[in-house]
């Protein structure tokens, strides 16, 4: 990328939700990296494809990267044998500048890229194994300063875009509440409760043999509906606010995420990851809620599970970080969200001058909190157990700034809409202390808010009630 970046004050504060719905709700290629409806710090970024925007997608099975121009279909597309990490790395900086998104790429790395980063076996996904949109203009919201800034790379029409967008922002009106639609469509679970319990037992057998210490076993829900991504995401962020949310709409595929977990943050030569392992639902009363939080923090099983993943992430980052720079500044903290309490730790490291940001991403991907330990063996076992692809779920999404700054969240608590319907992934870490009924209930707790915004009944599978759920 070349050309000076212009930044123009857009005037008074506007709610990002109103701005996205009004200015970008009808765009086919649009993004919203969202700090949440109640954010008092952090940044949100909103934008769409411009005439010069490239879209690159990756296919792990063929080892190819495809480049197209969403707003210029007349330019056709190119396909090359390449790594998506190498293609992206050629277009971003070294990650030693200031943080924040200073234009660059927005998109996702799907879970099946594990084949490229680890050599593990994977299934063929329905969606691209990676998809990244080149962003050359956007609206940036600073939640602490309460400012709205138009950011655009200089081009023949940059000034025109700035003036049009500034005028459009002044006309944005608050969005009227939407009545949530109910669906009679029944969700289909890849593994019903009985089969999932059997998979948990097989995972236990692997652990008893010493093949793994922990396995992040997942399930998938498919629903035959075609909801509007913008309406559903606006409902999702209102009912399940988080600091790493996002809506990415790339053609006929949309990712709607209420992710609570940061995968990697890179700026000024420092990489941070915040793995989550350990979950409890929120309580119906203050006393019950506090008791559940305390139970999570005191659980030997949950604490051991979290520490295992901390060690795994320390190992992943240690392979590429400056020697002796890997630290754990926070261990076993509890973060509370609208539907769950989570056990969270923080791992930090310094990036050596010889490493680029995408080298760090590739070294740590997929995140240990979504695989188990040891990672390579866990990936192979999970491939055998799960019986299908995870797709975008369990991957990572966010931005790769032109400066080399990186902010990627885990694709969890997320909805994917594609031409065949809706999919939701859910799962949990299986250890020697795991109880099948508890693990199955955890998978349901994690998807309850997602099913609710889709208007779908919360049920385990169409065959009937789950006898393992308490």
| 265: β partners | 272, 407
Measured over the CA atoms of residue 436, residue 259, residue 450 and residue 133, the dihedral's sign is negative
Which residue carries 């949530």 as its tokens? 180
Which residue carries 């019986």 as its tokens? 387
Whole-angstrom distance, CA of residue 327 vs CA of residue 373? 19
Measured over the CA atoms of residue 298, residue 300, residue 306 and residue 307, the dihedral's sign is positive
Which residues does 314 contact at the CB level (< 8 Å), separation at least 6? 326, 328, 347
Which residues does 119 contact at the CB level (< 8 Å), separation at least 6? 376
Measured over the CA atoms of residue 9, residue 11, residue 13 and residue 18, the dihedral's sign is negative
Choosing from 136, 220, 261, 439, the catalytic residue is 261
Whole-angstrom distance, CA of residue 413 vs CA of residue 258? 5
Q: How many residues in total does the chain contain?
A: 470
Contact 267, 93 (CB under 8 A): no
Choosing from 277, 302, 375, 442, the catalytic residue is 277
Q: Is 261 known to be catalytic?
A: yes
| Residue (of 162, 231, 164) closest to 20 by Cα position | 231
Q: Is 277 known to be catalytic?
A: yes
State residue 400 phi and psi, 5-degree precision: -125, 100
For 358-436, strand residue ranges (E) read 372-373, 396-401, 406-410, 414-418, 421-430
| Residue (of 219, 256, 126, 223) closest to 425 by Cα position | 219
DSSP conformation letters of 291-327: HHHHHHHH-HHHHHHHHHHHHHHHHHHHTTSPTT--E
Q: Which helix (H) or strand (E) holds 218?
A: strand 214-223
Catalytic residue numbers read 261, 277
């Amino acid at each position: 990328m070349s050309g000076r970046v212009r930044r123009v004050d857009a005037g008074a504060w506007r709610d990002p939700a109103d701005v996205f719905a009004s200015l970008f709700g009808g765009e086919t290629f649009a993004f919203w990296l969202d700090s949440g409806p109640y954010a008092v710090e952090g940044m949100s970024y909103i934008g769409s494809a411009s005439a010069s925007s490239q879209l690159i997608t990756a296919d792990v099975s063929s080892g190819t990267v495809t480049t197209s121009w969403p707003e210029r279909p007349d330019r056709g597309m190119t396909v090359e044998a390449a790594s998506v990490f190498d293609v992206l790395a050629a277009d971003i900086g070294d990650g030693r500048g200031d943080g924040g998104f200073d234009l660059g790429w927005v998109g996702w790395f799907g879970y099946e890229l594990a084949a490229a980063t680890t050599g593990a076996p994977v299934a063929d996904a329905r969606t691209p194994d990676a998809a990244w949109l080149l962003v050359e203009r956007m609206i940036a919201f600073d939640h602490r300063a309460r400012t709205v800034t138009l950011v655009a790379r200089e081009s023949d029409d940059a000034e025109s875009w700035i003036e049009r967008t500034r005028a459009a922002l002044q006309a944005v009106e608050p969005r009227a509440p939407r009545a949530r639609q109910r669906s009679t469509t029944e969700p289909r679970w890849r593994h019903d409760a009985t089969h999932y319990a059997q998979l948990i037992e097989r995972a236990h057998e692997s652990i008893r043999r010493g093949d793994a210490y922990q396995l992040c076993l997942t399930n998938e829900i498919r629903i035959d509906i075609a909801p509007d991504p913008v309406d559903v995401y606006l409902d999702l962020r209102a009912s399940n606010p988080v600091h790493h949310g996002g809506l990415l709409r790339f053609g006929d595929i949309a990712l709607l995420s209420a992710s609570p977990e940061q995968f990697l943050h890179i700026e000024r030569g420092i990489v941070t990851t915040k793995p989550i392992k350990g979950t409890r639902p929120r309580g119906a009363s203050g006393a019950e809620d506090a008791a559940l939080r305390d139970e999570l923090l005191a659980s030997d099983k949950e604490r051991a599970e979290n520490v295992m993943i901390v060690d795994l992430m320390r190992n992943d980052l240690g392979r590429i970080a400056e020697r002796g720079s890997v630290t754990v500044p926070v261990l076993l903290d509890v973060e509370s969200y609208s539907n769950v309490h989570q056990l969270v730790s923080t791992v930090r490291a310094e990036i050596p001058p010889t490493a680029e940001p995408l080298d760090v991403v590739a070294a740590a991907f997929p995140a240990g909190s979504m695989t188990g330990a040891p990672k390579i063996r866990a990936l192979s076992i999970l491939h055998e157990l799960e019986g299908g692809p995870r797709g975008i779920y369990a991957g990572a999404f966010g931005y790769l700034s032109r400066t080399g700054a990186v902010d990627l969240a885990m694709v969890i608590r997320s909805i994917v809409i594609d031409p065949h319907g809706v999919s939701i992934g859910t799962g949990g870490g299986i250890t020697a202390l795991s109880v099948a009924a508890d693990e199955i209930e955890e998978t349901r707790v994690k998807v309850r808010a997602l099913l609710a915004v889709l208007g779908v009944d919360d049920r385990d599978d169409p065959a009937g009630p789950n006898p393992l759920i308490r």
